[in-house]
Amino acid sequence: MSPGRSRPAKVIFACVHGAGRSQMAAAFFNVLSEPGLARALAAGTRPADRVHPEVVQAMNESGIDLAHVRPELLTAELAEGAALLVTMGCGEECPVVPGARREDWPLQDPRGSDLKDVRVVRDEVRRRVSELIQREGWGNRSLVVP
């Protein structure tokens, strides 16, 4: 980072297991946003051992490989300095990150769903991420995700 430039905004996408919706959102965000302006990560309040296989398959169709991604626990250290926390249908387990703005996206959990339904969730996540990036001015106009 060059002198005089601030750090990119940190965006956290959080759901219970950190293995579906939040992973899709963080992946789309990091492809569509300008890296010098904002970066995203996914986390869960009770992280799973791996990204749900049906989510990996649906994201592969969009050209994004999540097969080797491991869900992370949302900790105070991980959340430190976050500008925005987007929770995704975690109900009573939704975390709070002091100092971060918060949005809630009530999206269906894709875990265990058939691929057709996971695609619907994936496409809704991509739409919401694109709108968020545009609204906040974090876009990378040179990239297009299929």
Per-residue pLDDT of 19-57, as tens digits, reads 999 999 999 999 999 999 999 999 998 999 999 999 999
pLDDT at residue 89, rounded to an integer: 77
Which residue in 7, 5, 38, 41 sits closest to 22, CA to CA?
41
- Label residue 2 by pLDDT band (50, 70, 90): very low
pLDDT at residue 32, rounded to an integer: 95
CB 128 within 8 A of CB 25: yes
DSSP letter for 5, please: P
pLDDT at residue 23, rounded to an integer: 97
User: First-to-last CA distance in the chain?
Assistant: 30
Mean pLDDT of 118-125: 97
